[in-house]
Amino acid sequence: MTVSAAELLGELLDPGSFVSWDRPPVPVAASPGYRGDLLAAAATAGTDESVLTGEGLLRGRRVAVIACEFAFLAGSVGVAAAERIVSAVERATELGLPLLASPTSGGTRMQEGTVAFVQMVKVAGALAVHKAAGHPYLVYLRDPTMGGVFASWGSLGHMTFAEPGALVGFLGPRVYQALYGKKFPEGVQTAENLYRNGVIDGVVPVSVFRRIVHRALTVLCDGPVPLPEKAGDAMPPALGSGSFPAGPRERVAVLDTAEVHAWQTVLISRRGDRPGIRELLRHVTDRVPLSGTGQGELDRTVVHALARFRGQPCIVFGHDRAGQSPEHTMGPAALREARRSMHLAAELRVPLVLVIDTAGASLSREAEERGLAPEIARCIADLVTLDTPTVSVLLGQGTGGGALALLPADRVLAAANGWLAPLPPEGASEIVYRDTWHAPELAAAQRIRAVDLREDGIVDRIVHEYPDAAEEPADFALRMVEAIAGELAGLTARSPAELLAARHLRYRRLGLRT
């Protein structure tokens, strides 16, 4: 049974907090028959148009809302409904409010013809202005959401969720059968299928969406929380520029790290029980998972989410070692997901944290034909010019272009046994010696270890392992989370122009002896 707009708002917002922004619908040209349809729809739905707009509180936070009413001519959008939507978007932008939208609609209102069809342009334009101003736009698709509504304001959210079992798609199955004389394939236009294919971020009931919105807006709207001062001689979590003077245990860790052979580092990083990005995310707060590119691609070798690291808000994206295997490595879709995270970070004006932990990008016909190399290039270019603070974390293996694509950042941290190389040492050995037996020798010669990378100006700080992160996964993850939080706090205190200038100079000088 379709949830009404009033029921949706009642579940989503704090009780009694909704305040309508709606004015009487603007007049539209209408035949006598259409006028009768409008009057009948109003009597059936109990609303004067197919959308309700206004504001309310969500866990005490002021938000703007737009909700479709399907009982009013199947939630179709004509001139009056579109004008109401655009006015609400513009008001939310002017007030600086996050905007929540919940469409359920058959699409454009056929009774008003092409002029109704092109209303989606002005709706999309208003939302583009709202998002460009740095205000969040979150979408909850209800059953059904079809046609021009899905192809405009239903698909422009920074995050998009849908109710379980919702019919969501472009061309309605009844219209498809009428046009093509056969049924549309079963199971395609469902919320669950779109989630599996990376079009939307999740399928949840309204009660869960309310919790997701609260977490997301806590990350996106509340700003950073000052880090607590450390008392006494507490040991710093990392080594490198900006560290406190080393204590006895820290000096031992530096010595141990420097003495570990590069090949041993490689072997340690490949342990199956080594903590990865998911272990880090267990120690952050206000986490909201994202999924896919939003454009029909999903790669299970990567993870991205909104989160707070010790009170520092960010978008985090990285390689997921749990999703990788020799037969399943990151492909072009993973890099397009990375670029989605970069775009979101810039548009929402929050820092971006990138986690490198990959055995390499996919070597396959499909990866080549779908643009793996160009996506690596675009990721690098986007990161170098991104207008928001960035932190890159070399957590484990850092092989090839798949690692390089996430490297260029304002600050680069490395786990003590993290490493970065153009190829796995075995691959480098094959190129130089035509065998893999010289892999340990090549690993040392190429200076792939974290300590070598720091000396060469590629890495800024090293986060300890005592002696191996796999032996102390929780403690290591806590140290890394704290180190990331410290970097985020320092970077957010600097202006975007200052960050961009410093980032340009940093990478311009790479490899040059001074």
Over the chain, what is the mean pLDDT? 90
Specify the range with the lowest mean pLDDT, choosing from 63-67, 265-269, 327-331: 327-331
Question: What's residue 2's pLDDT?
Answer: 78
Q: pLDDT digit string (tens) for 275-289?
A: 999 999 999 999 999
Instruction: Supply the DSSP symbol for 500.
Output: H
Q: pLDDT-derived band of residue 1, with 50, 70 and 90 as boundaries?
A: low
Per the model's pLDDT, the better-predicted residue between 328 and 38 turns out to be 38
SS3 103: coil
Q: Is the Cβ–Cβ distance between 160 and 200 less than 8 Å? A: yes
Output helix, strand, coil percentages for the chain, rounded to the nearest 5.
45, 20, 40
Q: pLDDT digit string (tens) for 193-210?
A: 999 999 999 999 999 999
Q: What distance in Å separates the CA atoms of residue 254 and residue 450, rounded to the nearest whole number? A: 11
For the segment 223-244, the average pLDDT, to the nearest whole number, is 54
How many CB atoms are located within 10 Å of the residue 427 CB? 17
Q: pLDDT-derived band of residue 142, with 50, 70 and 90 as boundaries?
A: very high
Using a 10 angstrom Cβ sphere, with 0-12 exposed, 13-18 middle and 19 or more buried, the burial of residue 198 is buried
Residue 11 sits at φ, ψ, to 5 deg, of: -80, -35
Q: Does residue 256 register a pLDDT over 80?
A: no
